[in-house]
A and B are shown apart, each in its own frame.
Chain A
Amino acid sequence: MFSASHSNAVTPNIATQEASSRAPNAPSPEDLLRMFGTLWQIRTFENEVQRLAAAGEVPGFPHLSTGQEAVAVGVCSQLAHEDLLFTSHRGHGHVLAKGSDIESTFAEVLGRESGLCRGRGGSMHLVDAAHGVMGATGVVAGNLSLAAGAAWAAQALGSKNVSVVFFGDGATGAGAFHETINLAVLWKLPILFVCENNGYAEFTSREEHSTVKFVRRFAEPYEMAASTIDGNDLLAVYAEAGKAIAGLRHGDGPYLLECMTYRLAGHFVGDAQRYRSKEELAAIREKDPIERLKRHLLQSGVPESDLDATGERARRAVLDAVERARASRHPDPAGVMEDVYAAPWLNAIDG
């Protein structure tokens, strides 16, 4: 017999009062410096994943978001701790930006017992319920509707929490994308759809996928609020996300935020990037969000030494966390059958 528990064993802390989100105004210098550091955190994290994957230490297929950090940091800096985040197979940046512990996140990428999911999920399936990271999907577009469900729950339970789901432009080819935005608009769900349009899905460029160049256009038939911005401009992302999220909390209905961006690494680690020209890659570096924010901060008078120090601290923090993660314990095979079901006796080998 099972106990008649009403809710999840571990439920994210869903606040029922006004969540402490940031107002949609310009970030303070401290905010900016902090966000600059977070950009470096993610960049370093992804470089480390790439380095160790090349050395054979990372199981499976990690997908890197190198170059797309501004979207993660810009959006997540406007989220409250209790807001709910869903991401894709390329989700390391989003998870870190939401506030997850660096060492636990890297340990999960390495498949260790101390990882966020005890090594059961891996790079493409990060979950950190304590920080509102509700999951990542390895199946493209697989969790768009789950994010809508989370928004529905927040609404049904009377909270002001919002749900955010990150996905690439390739996901707009899936039926689930269109079904979900239809539902989100119909039920006026507090969900922010963030599309990182990097012009490539798997290995083919967007033009080969769709005649619709800008994903925000998909919102038009549904009269859903949407906009397209430069995803490599942290300030632009921060501002637009802030507006959108404020609207969600206000009950205005769902929002589709399209962020044009670029991948600096290949589709997945090991992908040889044969499908981009050298000129293309040079232009990309021009758009590097970290370089752009640095230029802006220098122009606004922040001493370079501050920026370097912030960057260095962030890098150091990640490198230390990576070393600790690398040294951590591998999962015990004896526990392989745990957590298939709630009740322990259901985790029998036969089923």
Chain B
Amino acid sequence: MSETFIEILRRALDEELARDPAVHLLGEDVAAGGAFGVTRGLAQKHGAQRVRNTPISEAAIAGLATGAALCGLRPVLEIMFIDFATLALDTLVNQAAKYRYMSGGQLAVPMVVRTQAGAAGGAAAQHSQSLEAWFVHVPGLIVIAPSSPAEAYGLLKSAIRLGDPVLFIEHKRLYTMKEAIAENAELPAIGKARIARTGEDVTLIAYSAMVTSAHEAAEQLAAEGVSVEIIDLRTLMPLDMNTIAASVSKTHRAIIAHEAVQNGGLGAEIAARIGDKLFDELDAPVLRVACPFAPIPFALELERALLPGAGNIVRAIRAQLH
């Protein structure tokens, strides 16, 4: 049976709430179902104490979740748009991320911050960003970006059980995506990428909604005789360099695609690591397909002109091969 991304997230949260009494959900409108309906019905089912609404106070509710995590709860905090994570940065970066280290290992922060990113047609600059690069830059945070419902299900459960602060970044455009999950599927390991498609000619590294574009691009290129291997990173921090290394050692070409702005994006980090560790495997420069250096505009044709998609990936791979 196929479920949408939202339905699957809800099911994962529901199951975790049932499994572990320490799991608590909180966030703006969360008890009412959340801005995208992910938590709908959960307050009714598990009680108002387990699923709680908060005022519009990102800084304080991030702190609430952090403090509670220090003291035995497993909070799952929802920050409605990753763009609003800016308001919670002091707590996430200066407190949550550093607690284990600064306390010399005495305390941990087993909390998950669920948020969503990406452009989806007219949300404009303050509601459309992809800011994962900020968080992979902070030692102590785990950053996950699932690419599909089935992936999200397993990764969210793994994140809740992990024991360190996790930024779980969903994507607006994936919320309506449908997929069926195998029953009793093994939970994916945090920090392990998956080969979403095998290929011989080029390694295409992507995550979140870009994996869908990657598949489109690979189909198009297959018709031209180019065989693309797609790596779905799943976890952005820590990065699975082993999977990347095995793939690039086979294809000798690497290209990274993400929706976030290219400059200072995660693609730059991955490209640098490939250049460092896999230099002798490369037959071409490592390329990135990403968003140009501008805020996301409101008008739909402007937004479309800016956002990278399958077309950009296809053109980049062609350039890399010839």
Contact = CB atoms under 8 A, between A and B. Distances in A.
Give yes or no for direct A-B contact (beta carbon below 8 Å).
Answer: yes
A5 interface: yes
B292 interface: no
A151 B60 CA distance: 13
Interface in A36-74: none
Interface stretch (A282-290, A302-310, A340-348): A340-348
Interface in A246-277: none
Contacts of B91: 142, 145-146
A15 interface: no
Interface in B37-76: 49, 52, 54-55, 57, 59-75
A29 B103 CA distance: 37
Interface stretch (A87-95, A129-137, A209-217, A321-329): A129-137
Contacts of B65: 149
A148 B94 CA distance: 17
B1 interface: no
B139 A150 contact: no
A76 interface: no
A4 B187 CA distance: 11
B267 to A, nearest CB: 16
B126 interface: no
B5 to A, nearest CB: 24
Given A135-B103, A148-B67, A341-B142, A153 B55 contact: no
Contacts of A22: none
A137 B71 CA distance: 17
B107 interface: yes
A6 interface: yes
Interface string A135-165: 1011100111111111111101100000100
Nearest to A5: B163
Given A118-B105, A135-B107, A146 B238 contact: no
Interface string B67-109: 1111111110000000000000011001100011111111110
A115 B102 CA distance: 12
B102 A125 contact: yes
A10 B106 contact: yes
A2 B157 CA distance: 12
A301 interface: no
B27 interface: no
Given A156-B24, A156-B68, A129 B103 contact: yes
A1 interface: yes
A149 B104 CA distance: 21
A12 interface: yes
A23 B62 CA distance: 34
B162 interface: yes
Interface stretch (A180-188, A231-239, A291-299, A312-320): A180-188
A149 B64 contact: yes
Contact of A121 (B62, B70, B104, B108): B104
A9 B101 CA distance: 14
A149 B68 contact: yes
Most buried by A among B54, B73, B110, B187: B73
A293 to B, nearest CB: 33
Contacts of A341: 100, 140, 142, 164
B273 interface: yes
Nearest to A11: B72
B190 interface: yes
A350 B236 CA distance: 12
Contact of B67 (A125, A149, A157): A149
A351 interface: yes
Interface in B266-290: 273
B22 A7 contact: yes
A339 B101 contact: yes
A351 B143 CA distance: 11
B26 to A, nearest CB: 9
Given A142-B90, A342-B108, A152 B61 contact: no
A119 interface: yes
A12 B189 CA distance: 29
A90 B189 CA distance: 41
Contacts of B62: 145
Contacts of B142: 341
A120 interface: yes
Contacts of A6: 20, 22, 74
A350 B241 contact: yes
Contacts of A128: 106
Interface of B: 20, 22, 24, 49, 52, 54-55, 57, 59-75, 90-91, 94-95, 99-108, 110, 136, 139-140, 142, 158, 161-164, 187, 189-191, 237-239, 241, 273
Given A134-B107, A152-B64, A351-B239, 15 more contacts: A6-B20, A115-B104, A119-B104, A121-B102, A121-B104, A127-B107, A135-B99, A145-B59, A149-B71, A152-B68, A153-B70, A176-B90, A179-B55, A186-B55, A341-B140
28 contacts: A1-B187, A2-B158, A2-B190, A4-B161, A9-B163, A10-B105, A10-B107, A117-B102, A117-B103, A117-B104, A120-B103, A130-B106, A143-B63, A146-B64, A146-B91, A148-B64, A149-B68, A156-B49, A156-B73, A176-B59, A179-B55, A179-B57, A186-B55, A339-B101, A339-B104, A339-B105, A340-B140, A351-B136
